[in-house]
Amino acid sequence: MSKLYLVPTPIGNLEDITLRALKILKFVDVILAEDTRTSGKLLKHYEIDTPMLSHHMHNEHKMVDRIVDRILAGENFALISDAGTPAISDPGFLLTRACIEKGVAVECLPGATAFVPAIVNSGFPNDKFIFEGFLPVKKGRQTRLKMLAQETRTMIFYESPHKLIKTLQQFEEYFGENRQVSVSRELTKLYEETRRGSIKEVKDHYIEHPPKGEIVIVLKGNSKNNQ
């Protein structure tokens, strides 16, 4: 029975991929890639010559029905993102939902996800946490921050390097300058770094040392010690 495979890919270090993921990527008929140029480097590294199709946020709505029809007709597809697990702040949800609605088998492999090493490495409580992904850029951003101000669980956010300082400034405003935060960037890569401290301390550091690379922010939940 043909199916859709959701295959995590490395978030930086190309060695962080499972043997099973490599097997599936060689087995399927088509690989759906967020950016075929980025994924092409991974496939070339592991000598995988499976055909690729672009599947990203700008075309996924148009492609979903056609992909489902092809799977129903007998083709096996694998969906990958540029890095990490598909559908985690990346394309994948729409296709997965459509496959389930049409009775297409979906199988998600375990693998790399950036927020997992970031929260474990933060030293903050991780028995309960919430994943916020990217905050709204404009509309709804302040409302969301106000709602999260009293959140007691550890919070996880994704952010781009050029917006990090602004985001930490807003955190300082809504959560207080003494709230503890951990910022991880370039996870699994050569210049991997995790900076821990109060929001103000971490913000001041990155004002003096502009950040580069993909960023995960882990924010400690609200407690009496944060006041």
User: Residue 180's domain is classified under what CATH number?
Assistant: 3.30.950.10
Residue that terminates a domain, selected from 108, 135, 165: 108
Mean predicted confidence (pLDDT) in 154-170: 97
Q: Report how far residue 19's alpha carbon sits from residue 17's, in angstroms, rounded to the nearest whole number.
A: 7
Q: pLDDT tens digits for 168-177?
A: 999 999 999 9
- Sorted by sequence, the CB contacts under 8 Å of residue 142 that are 6+ apart come out as none
Mean pLDDT of the chain: 95
pLDDT 10s digits, 67-103: 999 999 999 999 999 999 999 999 999 999 999 999 9
- pLDDT, one tens digit per residue, over 175-227 is 999 999 999 999 999 999 999 999 999 999 999 999 999 999 999 999 865 54
Q: Is the pLDDT confidence value at 35 over 70?
A: yes
Residue 84: domain span: 3-108
DSSP-derived secondary structure for 135-192: PPSSTTHHHHHHHHTT--SEEEEEE-GGGHHHHHHHHHHHH-TTSEEEEEESTTSTT-
Last residue of a domain, one of 76, 108, 140: 108
- For 160, list phi and psi in degrees, rounded to 5: -85, 155
Number of domains composing the chain: 2
Domain final residue pick, 53, 75, 108: 108
Residues 126 and 181 in one domain: yes
Question: Taking Cα atoms as reference points, which of 3, 74, 96, 82 lies closest to residue 35?
Answer: 82
